[in-house]
Amino acid sequence: MAQLDSVLACLDLNLDRSVERLFELMRLKSISTDPDYAGECRKTAEWLAGDLSAIGFSARVADSAGHPMVIAHHAGPSGVAGRVPHVLFYGHYDVQPVDPIELWDTEPFSPALKTMPDGTRRIVGRGSADDKGQLMTFVEACRAYIAETGSLPCRVTIFLEGEEESGSPSLLPFLDAHREELSADVALICDTNMWDRDTPAISTGLRGLVGEEVVVRAADKDLHSGYFGGAAANPIRILSKIIGDLHDADGRVTLPGFYDGVEELPDDVRTIWDELGFDEAAFLGQVGLSVPAGERGRTVLEQVWARPTAEVNGIEGGYTGKGFKTVIAAEAFAKISFRLVFSQDPARIRESFRAFVRERLPADCSVEFHEHGGSPAIQLPFDSAVLRTAREALSDEWPKPAVMIGMGGSIPVVGEFKRRLGMGSLLVGFGLGDDRIHSPNEKYELSSYAKGQRSWARILDAIGRDGVA
Protein backbone atom coordinates (compact mmCIF):
# COMPACT_ATOMS: atom_id res chain seq x y z
CA MET A 1 0.00 0.00 0.00
CA ALA A 2 2.91 2.36 0.61
CA GLN A 3 3.88 1.98 -3.04
CA LEU A 4 0.35 2.79 -4.20
CA ASP A 5 0.14 5.74 -1.82
CA SER A 6 3.27 7.26 -3.35
CA VAL A 7 1.82 6.83 -6.86
CA LEU A 8 -1.42 8.53 -5.85
CA ALA A 9 0.51 11.39 -4.22
CA CYS A 10 2.54 11.79 -7.41
CA LEU A 11 -0.66 12.07 -9.46
CA ASP A 12 -2.05 14.73 -7.13
CA LEU A 13 1.19 16.72 -7.16
CA ASN A 14 1.41 16.70 -10.96
CA LEU A 15 -2.23 17.29 -11.87
CA ASP A 16 -1.56 20.71 -13.41
CA ARG A 17 1.16 19.30 -15.64
CA SER A 18 -1.09 16.44 -16.72
CA VAL A 19 -3.80 18.94 -17.67
CA GLU A 20 -1.34 20.82 -19.86
CA ARG A 21 -0.34 17.56 -21.56
CA LEU A 22 -4.00 16.87 -22.25
CA PHE A 23 -4.37 20.39 -23.68
CA GLU A 24 -1.46 19.72 -26.07
CA LEU A 25 -3.24 16.60 -27.28
CA MET A 26 -6.60 18.35 -27.59
CA ARG A 27 -5.14 21.13 -29.74
CA LEU A 28 -4.51 18.56 -32.49
CA LYS A 29 -7.50 18.50 -34.84
CA SER A 30 -7.79 14.73 -35.27
CA ILE A 31 -11.17 14.61 -37.06
CA SER A 32 -11.03 11.17 -38.65
CA THR A 33 -14.14 11.39 -40.82
CA ASP A 34 -12.87 14.40 -42.83
CA PRO A 35 -9.99 13.66 -45.25
CA ASP A 36 -8.77 17.25 -44.89
CA TYR A 37 -7.60 16.38 -41.36
CA ALA A 38 -5.57 13.26 -42.24
CA GLY A 39 -2.34 15.10 -41.46
CA GLU A 40 -3.66 16.14 -38.05
CA CYS A 41 -4.60 12.54 -37.27
CA ARG A 42 -1.06 11.41 -38.04
CA LYS A 43 0.39 14.22 -35.91
CA THR A 44 -1.83 13.07 -33.04
CA ALA A 45 -0.66 9.48 -33.35
CA GLU A 46 2.95 10.64 -33.42
CA TRP A 47 2.41 12.84 -30.35
CA LEU A 48 0.97 9.91 -28.39
CA ALA A 49 3.69 7.49 -29.45
CA GLY A 50 6.32 10.06 -28.45
CA ASP A 51 4.73 10.67 -25.07
CA LEU A 52 4.47 6.95 -24.32
CA SER A 53 8.08 6.40 -25.38
CA ALA A 54 9.18 9.20 -23.06
CA ILE A 55 7.73 7.49 -20.00
CA GLY A 56 9.24 4.06 -20.68
CA PHE A 57 7.00 2.27 -23.17
CA SER A 58 8.22 0.75 -26.41
CA ALA A 59 5.84 2.71 -28.63
CA ARG A 60 5.32 3.21 -32.33
CA VAL A 61 2.92 4.58 -34.92
CA ALA A 62 1.53 1.63 -36.88
CA ASP A 63 0.12 2.31 -40.33
CA SER A 64 -3.25 0.91 -41.35
CA ALA A 65 -5.35 1.16 -44.48
CA GLY A 66 -6.68 4.43 -43.07
CA HIS A 67 -5.50 6.58 -40.18
CA PRO A 68 -2.55 5.23 -38.17
CA MET A 69 -2.81 3.31 -34.92
CA VAL A 70 -0.56 3.60 -31.87
CA ILE A 71 0.84 0.49 -30.18
CA ALA A 72 2.94 0.61 -27.01
CA HIS A 73 4.29 -2.11 -24.71
CA HIS A 74 5.63 -2.21 -21.18
CA ALA A 75 7.01 -5.48 -19.77
CA GLY A 76 5.87 -4.73 -16.23
CA PRO A 77 7.76 -5.78 -13.10
CA SER A 78 10.97 -7.78 -13.34
CA GLY A 79 12.08 -10.52 -11.00
CA VAL A 80 8.53 -11.54 -10.10
CA ALA A 81 7.87 -15.23 -9.52
CA GLY A 82 5.08 -16.72 -11.62
CA ARG A 83 3.20 -15.37 -14.56
CA VAL A 84 2.68 -11.60 -14.69
CA PRO A 85 -0.88 -10.49 -15.63
CA HIS A 86 -1.11 -8.79 -19.01
CA VAL A 87 -3.68 -6.08 -19.83
CA LEU A 88 -4.46 -4.31 -23.10
CA PHE A 89 -5.68 -0.73 -22.77
CA TYR A 90 -7.77 0.51 -25.70
CA GLY A 91 -8.72 4.10 -26.49
CA HIS A 92 -9.18 6.28 -29.56
CA TYR A 93 -7.49 9.57 -30.37
CA ASP A 94 -9.81 10.70 -33.18
CA VAL A 95 -12.68 13.11 -32.51
CA GLN A 96 -16.00 14.12 -33.99
CA PRO A 97 -16.39 17.14 -36.32
CA VAL A 98 -17.15 20.39 -34.50
CA ASP A 99 -20.20 21.51 -36.50
CA PRO A 100 -22.23 23.59 -35.88
CA ILE A 101 -19.30 25.83 -35.01
CA GLU A 102 -21.53 28.82 -34.16
CA LEU A 103 -22.91 26.99 -31.11
CA TRP A 104 -19.54 26.73 -29.38
CA ASP A 105 -18.85 29.15 -26.55
CA THR A 106 -15.09 28.73 -27.05
CA GLU A 107 -12.88 27.67 -29.96
CA PRO A 108 -13.23 23.84 -30.10
CA PHE A 109 -9.50 23.13 -30.40
CA SER A 110 -8.36 25.73 -27.88
CA PRO A 111 -8.93 23.80 -24.63
CA ALA A 112 -9.38 25.64 -21.37
CA LEU A 113 -10.29 25.14 -17.72
CA LYS A 114 -13.60 26.71 -16.81
CA THR A 115 -14.78 27.34 -13.24
CA MET A 116 -18.51 26.90 -12.73
CA PRO A 117 -20.76 28.88 -10.32
CA ASP A 118 -20.73 25.97 -7.86
CA GLY A 119 -16.93 25.99 -7.77
CA THR A 120 -16.40 22.84 -9.83
CA ARG A 121 -13.93 23.02 -12.69
CA ARG A 122 -14.22 21.48 -16.11
CA ILE A 123 -12.00 20.96 -19.14
CA VAL A 124 -13.75 22.28 -22.27
CA GLY A 125 -12.96 21.54 -25.90
CA ARG A 126 -13.38 18.86 -28.54
CA GLY A 127 -12.07 15.50 -27.38
CA SER A 128 -12.04 16.42 -23.69
CA ALA A 129 -14.36 13.54 -22.76
CA ASP A 130 -14.44 11.51 -25.99
CA ASP A 131 -11.83 10.15 -25.82
CA LYS A 132 -8.63 12.11 -25.29
CA GLY A 133 -9.32 13.01 -21.68
CA GLN A 134 -10.37 9.45 -20.93
CA LEU A 135 -7.33 7.79 -22.53
CA MET A 136 -4.96 10.20 -20.84
CA THR A 137 -6.27 9.19 -17.40
CA PHE A 138 -4.69 5.79 -18.06
CA VAL A 139 -1.49 7.20 -19.55
CA GLU A 140 -1.05 9.52 -16.56
CA ALA A 141 -1.60 6.63 -14.14
CA CYS A 142 1.17 4.71 -15.93
CA ARG A 143 3.41 7.79 -15.93
CA ALA A 144 3.12 8.22 -12.17
CA TYR A 145 3.52 4.51 -11.44
CA ILE A 146 6.72 4.29 -13.50
CA ALA A 147 8.06 7.54 -12.02
CA GLU A 148 7.55 6.34 -8.44
CA THR A 149 8.42 2.65 -8.75
CA GLY A 150 10.47 2.34 -11.92
CA SER A 151 7.98 -0.05 -13.49
CA LEU A 152 4.32 -1.08 -13.74
CA PRO A 153 2.61 -3.72 -11.58
CA CYS A 154 1.63 -5.82 -14.62
CA ARG A 155 2.40 -6.13 -18.31
CA VAL A 156 0.65 -3.36 -20.24
CA THR A 157 -0.05 -2.99 -23.93
CA ILE A 158 -1.68 0.24 -25.12
CA PHE A 159 -3.62 0.27 -28.38
CA LEU A 160 -4.97 3.62 -29.60
CA GLU A 161 -7.19 3.77 -32.67
CA GLY A 162 -7.59 6.70 -35.06
CA GLU A 163 -10.91 5.86 -36.74
CA GLU A 164 -13.40 5.05 -33.97
CA GLU A 165 -15.51 8.12 -34.74
CA SER A 166 -15.73 7.20 -38.44
CA GLY A 167 -16.82 3.57 -38.18
CA SER A 168 -13.39 1.92 -37.65
CA PRO A 169 -12.99 0.82 -41.31
CA SER A 170 -9.38 -0.31 -40.81
CA LEU A 171 -9.80 -1.96 -37.41
CA LEU A 172 -10.71 -5.55 -38.30
CA PRO A 173 -7.88 -6.23 -40.77
CA PHE A 174 -5.50 -4.50 -38.36
CA LEU A 175 -6.58 -6.76 -35.49
CA ASP A 176 -6.16 -9.82 -37.69
CA ALA A 177 -2.70 -8.73 -38.78
CA HIS A 178 -1.57 -7.94 -35.21
CA ARG A 179 -3.45 -10.65 -33.32
CA GLU A 180 -0.43 -12.01 -31.46
CA GLU A 181 0.92 -8.59 -30.52
CA LEU A 182 -2.40 -7.28 -29.20
CA SER A 183 -3.63 -10.37 -27.33
CA ALA A 184 -3.67 -10.10 -23.53
CA ASP A 185 -5.54 -11.47 -20.52
CA VAL A 186 -8.15 -8.72 -20.56
CA ALA A 187 -8.85 -5.45 -22.38
CA LEU A 188 -9.37 -2.25 -20.39
CA ILE A 189 -11.60 0.25 -22.17
CA CYS A 190 -12.12 3.83 -20.98
CA ASP A 191 -14.82 5.23 -23.26
CA THR A 192 -17.81 5.03 -20.90
CA ASN A 193 -19.50 6.99 -18.12
CA MET A 194 -19.89 7.04 -14.37
CA TRP A 195 -23.33 6.66 -12.83
CA ASP A 196 -23.10 10.16 -11.37
CA ARG A 197 -20.28 12.50 -10.37
CA ASP A 198 -19.73 10.64 -7.07
CA THR A 199 -20.46 7.06 -8.17
CA PRO A 200 -18.09 5.15 -10.47
CA ALA A 201 -19.53 2.52 -12.77
CA ILE A 202 -18.53 -0.57 -14.70
CA SER A 203 -20.54 -1.03 -17.88
CA THR A 204 -21.57 -4.65 -18.43
CA GLY A 205 -23.77 -4.27 -21.51
CA LEU A 206 -23.42 -2.43 -24.82
CA ARG A 207 -25.93 -1.98 -27.60
CA GLY A 208 -24.88 -2.99 -31.09
CA LEU A 209 -24.95 -0.69 -34.08
CA VAL A 210 -25.90 -0.58 -37.75
CA GLY A 211 -25.11 2.61 -39.68
CA GLU A 212 -26.66 3.33 -43.07
CA GLU A 213 -26.63 6.26 -45.46
CA VAL A 214 -29.44 6.24 -48.03
CA VAL A 215 -29.56 8.43 -51.16
CA VAL A 216 -32.79 8.81 -53.15
CA ARG A 217 -32.56 10.27 -56.67
CA ALA A 218 -35.24 11.31 -59.17
CA ALA A 219 -34.70 13.91 -61.95
CA ASP A 220 -31.29 14.33 -63.55
CA LYS A 221 -31.00 17.89 -62.22
CA ASP A 222 -32.60 20.25 -59.69
CA LEU A 223 -35.91 21.52 -61.08
CA HIS A 224 -37.86 24.79 -60.92
CA SER A 225 -40.71 24.09 -58.50
CA GLY A 226 -43.07 26.28 -60.51
CA TYR A 227 -42.45 24.58 -63.86
CA PHE A 228 -42.28 21.02 -62.51
CA GLY A 229 -44.04 21.13 -59.12
CA GLY A 230 -46.74 18.46 -58.88
CA ALA A 231 -45.53 16.57 -61.94
CA ALA A 232 -41.99 15.66 -60.91
CA ALA A 233 -41.04 13.24 -58.16
CA ASN A 234 -39.59 15.04 -55.13
CA PRO A 235 -36.83 12.98 -53.44
CA ILE A 236 -37.05 14.98 -50.19
CA ARG A 237 -40.77 14.21 -49.83
CA ILE A 238 -40.24 10.56 -50.80
CA LEU A 239 -37.38 10.05 -48.36
CA SER A 240 -39.23 11.88 -45.58
CA LYS A 241 -42.22 9.56 -46.03
CA ILE A 242 -40.00 6.49 -45.87
CA ILE A 243 -38.35 7.76 -42.68
CA GLY A 244 -41.76 8.52 -41.17
CA ASP A 245 -42.83 4.93 -41.83
CA LEU A 246 -39.97 3.55 -39.71
CA HIS A 247 -41.98 3.89 -36.46
CA ASP A 248 -45.55 3.18 -35.48
CA ALA A 249 -47.72 5.26 -33.15
CA ASP A 250 -46.29 3.44 -30.09
CA GLY A 251 -42.66 4.16 -30.99
CA ARG A 252 -41.91 0.62 -32.20
CA VAL A 253 -39.71 0.13 -35.25
CA THR A 254 -41.69 -1.26 -38.18
CA LEU A 255 -38.94 -3.07 -40.11
CA PRO A 256 -39.97 -6.70 -40.72
CA GLY A 257 -38.03 -8.99 -38.36
CA PHE A 258 -36.53 -6.07 -36.45
CA TYR A 259 -37.37 -7.54 -33.03
CA ASP A 260 -36.08 -11.04 -33.80
CA GLY A 261 -33.62 -11.86 -31.02
CA VAL A 262 -34.90 -9.13 -28.68
CA GLU A 263 -35.64 -10.53 -25.22
CA GLU A 264 -37.41 -9.07 -22.23
CA LEU A 265 -35.16 -7.67 -19.52
CA PRO A 266 -34.27 -10.44 -17.00
CA ASP A 267 -35.80 -9.92 -13.56
CA ASP A 268 -32.45 -9.92 -11.77
CA VAL A 269 -31.09 -7.20 -14.05
CA ARG A 270 -34.28 -5.19 -13.68
CA THR A 271 -33.85 -5.36 -9.89
CA ILE A 272 -30.27 -4.05 -10.12
CA TRP A 273 -31.39 -1.16 -12.31
CA ASP A 274 -34.37 -0.34 -10.10
CA GLU A 275 -32.00 -0.01 -7.13
CA LEU A 276 -30.02 2.70 -8.95
CA GLY A 277 -32.73 5.26 -8.20
CA PHE A 278 -32.70 6.66 -11.73
CA ASP A 279 -34.53 9.99 -12.11
CA GLU A 280 -36.23 9.98 -15.52
CA ALA A 281 -37.40 13.57 -15.24
CA ALA A 282 -33.93 14.85 -14.40
CA PHE A 283 -32.36 12.81 -17.20
CA LEU A 284 -34.58 14.36 -19.83
CA GLY A 285 -34.77 17.73 -18.09
CA GLN A 286 -31.01 18.30 -18.40
CA VAL A 287 -31.45 18.53 -22.19
CA GLY A 288 -34.67 20.53 -22.12
CA LEU A 289 -37.09 17.61 -22.60
CA SER A 290 -39.77 16.07 -20.41
CA VAL A 291 -41.63 13.27 -22.24
CA PRO A 292 -39.98 9.92 -23.11
CA ALA A 293 -40.24 9.45 -26.88
CA GLY A 294 -39.30 5.77 -27.25
CA GLU A 295 -41.43 2.65 -27.04
CA ARG A 296 -44.59 3.27 -25.08
CA GLY A 297 -44.76 1.39 -21.78
CA ARG A 298 -40.99 1.11 -21.32
CA THR A 299 -38.92 2.88 -18.68
CA VAL A 300 -36.27 5.31 -19.85
CA LEU A 301 -33.47 3.00 -18.66
CA GLU A 302 -35.00 0.17 -20.68
CA GLN A 303 -35.26 2.44 -23.70
CA VAL A 304 -31.60 3.49 -23.61
CA TRP A 305 -29.96 0.30 -22.30
CA ALA A 306 -32.09 -2.68 -23.32
CA ARG A 307 -34.32 -1.80 -26.29
CA PRO A 308 -33.38 -1.41 -29.97
CA THR A 309 -33.83 1.88 -31.78
CA ALA A 310 -33.89 3.51 -35.20
CA GLU A 311 -32.74 7.14 -35.28
CA VAL A 312 -32.23 9.65 -38.09
CA ASN A 313 -28.83 11.29 -37.56
CA GLY A 314 -28.85 13.61 -40.55
CA ILE A 315 -30.99 14.55 -43.54
CA GLU A 316 -30.36 16.91 -46.42
CA GLY A 317 -31.52 17.81 -49.90
CA GLY A 318 -32.20 20.82 -52.08
CA TYR A 319 -31.23 24.36 -51.18
CA THR A 320 -30.14 24.81 -47.55
CA GLY A 321 -28.29 28.11 -47.76
CA LYS A 322 -29.45 31.53 -46.61
CA GLY A 323 -32.56 32.99 -48.15
CA PHE A 324 -34.96 30.99 -50.30
CA LYS A 325 -34.69 29.06 -53.56
CA THR A 326 -37.71 27.37 -55.17
CA VAL A 327 -36.26 24.09 -56.41
CA ILE A 328 -37.20 20.45 -56.44
CA ALA A 329 -33.99 18.68 -55.52
CA ALA A 330 -32.62 15.97 -57.77
CA GLU A 331 -31.60 13.94 -54.72
CA ALA A 332 -31.99 13.69 -50.96
CA PHE A 333 -30.03 11.67 -48.43
CA ALA A 334 -30.29 10.61 -44.81
CA LYS A 335 -27.97 8.99 -42.31
CA ILE A 336 -29.73 6.46 -40.09
CA SER A 337 -28.44 4.39 -37.18
CA PHE A 338 -29.96 1.35 -35.51
CA ARG A 339 -28.95 0.45 -31.96
CA LEU A 340 -29.25 -3.27 -31.33
CA VAL A 341 -29.72 -5.41 -28.21
CA PHE A 342 -29.37 -9.05 -27.17
CA SER A 343 -28.94 -11.30 -30.25
CA GLN A 344 -30.20 -9.05 -33.05
CA ASP A 345 -28.27 -9.72 -36.25
CA PRO A 346 -26.73 -6.54 -37.76
CA ALA A 347 -26.62 -8.03 -41.27
CA ARG A 348 -30.33 -8.96 -41.18
CA ILE A 349 -31.27 -5.51 -39.88
CA ARG A 350 -29.34 -3.87 -42.73
CA GLU A 351 -31.01 -6.13 -45.32
CA SER A 352 -34.45 -5.48 -43.85
CA PHE A 353 -33.94 -1.70 -43.95
CA ARG A 354 -32.79 -1.71 -47.56
CA ALA A 355 -35.75 -3.86 -48.61
CA PHE A 356 -38.06 -1.51 -46.64
CA VAL A 357 -36.76 1.50 -48.60
CA ARG A 358 -36.90 -0.19 -52.00
CA GLU A 359 -40.49 -1.32 -51.46
CA ARG A 360 -41.54 2.31 -50.94
CA LEU A 361 -39.65 3.79 -53.83
CA PRO A 362 -41.92 5.13 -56.63
CA ALA A 363 -41.28 4.88 -60.37
CA ASP A 364 -38.59 7.15 -61.86
CA CYS A 365 -36.60 7.04 -58.60
CA SER A 366 -33.43 5.18 -57.68
CA VAL A 367 -31.75 4.51 -54.38
CA GLU A 368 -28.15 4.04 -53.28
CA PHE A 369 -26.94 2.76 -49.91
CA HIS A 370 -23.64 3.32 -48.13
CA GLU A 371 -22.70 1.14 -45.16
CA HIS A 372 -21.28 2.85 -42.05
CA GLY A 373 -20.32 0.06 -39.69
CA GLY A 374 -22.18 -2.69 -37.92
CA SER A 375 -21.71 -4.75 -34.78
CA PRO A 376 -23.86 -6.93 -32.49
CA ALA A 377 -24.72 -6.09 -28.91
CA ILE A 378 -22.44 -7.22 -26.09
CA GLN A 379 -23.32 -8.60 -22.64
CA LEU A 380 -20.40 -9.01 -20.23
CA PRO A 381 -20.42 -11.41 -17.27
CA PHE A 382 -21.35 -9.94 -13.88
CA ASP A 383 -19.23 -12.43 -11.92
CA SER A 384 -15.76 -12.18 -13.46
CA ALA A 385 -12.77 -11.90 -11.16
CA VAL A 386 -11.36 -8.81 -12.85
CA LEU A 387 -14.74 -7.08 -12.54
CA ARG A 388 -14.75 -7.74 -8.78
CA THR A 389 -11.16 -6.49 -8.51
CA ALA A 390 -11.95 -3.29 -10.42
CA ARG A 391 -15.16 -2.70 -8.49
CA GLU A 392 -13.29 -2.82 -5.17
CA ALA A 393 -10.52 -0.54 -6.46
CA LEU A 394 -13.02 2.02 -7.75
CA SER A 395 -14.99 1.92 -4.52
CA ASP A 396 -11.81 2.73 -2.59
CA GLU A 397 -11.31 5.90 -4.64
CA TRP A 398 -14.76 7.47 -5.00
CA PRO A 399 -17.24 8.74 -2.38
CA LYS A 400 -19.75 6.00 -3.27
CA PRO A 401 -19.28 2.30 -4.15
CA ALA A 402 -18.99 1.35 -7.81
CA VAL A 403 -22.15 0.09 -9.54
CA MET A 404 -22.72 -2.08 -12.61
CA ILE A 405 -24.76 -0.46 -15.37
CA GLY A 406 -25.87 -0.93 -18.96
CA MET A 407 -24.86 1.40 -21.76
CA GLY A 408 -26.90 2.80 -24.61
CA GLY A 409 -23.93 3.40 -26.86
CA SER A 410 -21.89 0.99 -28.94
CA ILE A 411 -18.20 0.13 -28.77
CA PRO A 412 -17.74 -2.43 -31.56
CA VAL A 413 -14.14 -3.19 -30.62
CA VAL A 414 -15.36 -4.98 -27.46
CA GLY A 415 -16.99 -7.71 -29.52
CA GLU A 416 -14.05 -7.90 -31.92
CA PHE A 417 -11.59 -8.33 -29.05
CA LYS A 418 -13.64 -11.34 -27.96
CA ARG A 419 -14.18 -12.83 -31.42
CA ARG A 420 -10.74 -12.20 -32.91
CA LEU A 421 -8.42 -12.12 -29.92
CA GLY A 422 -10.33 -14.38 -27.49
CA MET A 423 -10.16 -11.65 -24.85
CA GLY A 424 -12.81 -10.28 -22.52
CA SER A 425 -13.11 -6.59 -21.66
CA LEU A 426 -13.52 -4.38 -18.61
CA LEU A 427 -15.34 -1.12 -19.36
CA VAL A 428 -14.50 1.64 -16.89
CA GLY A 429 -14.92 5.30 -17.78
CA PHE A 430 -15.20 8.60 -15.98
CA GLY A 431 -17.45 10.62 -18.26
CA LEU A 432 -20.77 12.11 -17.19
CA GLY A 433 -24.07 12.21 -19.01
CA ASP A 434 -23.86 15.98 -19.49
CA ASP A 435 -20.38 16.00 -21.06
CA ARG A 436 -21.89 16.90 -24.46
CA ILE A 437 -19.82 14.42 -26.41
CA HIS A 438 -20.35 14.74 -30.19
CA SER A 439 -21.92 18.16 -29.54
CA PRO A 440 -20.75 21.76 -29.23
CA ASN A 441 -19.18 22.71 -25.89
CA GLU A 442 -17.91 19.23 -25.06
CA LYS A 443 -16.45 19.11 -21.56
CA TYR A 444 -14.82 16.76 -19.04
CA GLU A 445 -14.98 17.40 -15.31
CA LEU A 446 -11.59 18.06 -13.75
CA SER A 447 -12.61 15.67 -10.96
CA SER A 448 -13.16 12.97 -13.61
CA TYR A 449 -9.70 13.58 -15.01
CA ALA A 450 -7.97 13.67 -11.63
CA LYS A 451 -9.79 10.80 -9.94
CA GLY A 452 -9.80 8.81 -13.17
CA GLN A 453 -6.00 8.78 -13.04
CA ARG A 454 -6.07 7.67 -9.41
CA SER A 455 -8.66 5.01 -10.24
CA TRP A 456 -6.53 3.44 -12.96
CA ALA A 457 -3.52 3.43 -10.64
CA ARG A 458 -5.60 1.52 -8.08
CA ILE A 459 -6.92 -0.91 -10.72
CA LEU A 460 -3.46 -1.62 -12.14
CA ASP A 461 -2.09 -2.12 -8.63
CA ALA A 462 -4.91 -4.53 -7.78
CA ILE A 463 -4.52 -6.49 -11.03
CA GLY A 464 -0.77 -6.79 -10.41
CA ARG A 465 -1.51 -8.14 -6.94
CA ASP A 466 -4.59 -10.31 -7.58
CA GLY A 467 -4.36 -11.15 -11.28
CA VAL A 468 -7.34 -11.40 -13.64
CA ALA A 469 -8.33 -15.09 -13.39
Q: What Cα–Cα distance (Å) separates residue 327 from each residue in 216, 232, 236, 317?
A: 16, 11, 11, 10
pLDDT score for 123: 98
The single-letter code of the amino acid at 81 is A
Sign of the CA dihedral with 435 first, then 439, 441, and 444 last: positive
Q: How many residues does the chain have?
A: 469
Report how far apart, in Å, the C-alpha atoms of 207 and of each of 374, 399, 409 are.
11, 29, 6
pLDDT of residue 275: 86
- The partner residues of 121 in beta bridges, in order of sequence, read 115
**H or E stretch including 103?**
none
Show the CA angle centred on residue 51, arms to residues 139 and 75, nearest 5°. Answer: 65
Please count the other Cβ atoms lying within 10 Å of the Cβ belonging to residue 76: 18
What is the per-residue pLDDT for 379? 79
Residue from 173, 315, 459, 26 nearest 467 by CA:
459
pLDDT at 35: 96
- Identify the pLDDT of residue 28: 98
Coil, strand or helix: which one is 243? helix
Point out the residues of the chain with pLDDT beneath 70.
none
Delineate the domains of the chain, giving CATH numbers in brackets.
2-206+379-466 (3.40.630.10), 208-262+308-375 (3.30.70.360)
Q: What is the pLDDT of residues 162-186, one digit of tens each?
A: 999 998 999 999 999 999 999 999 9
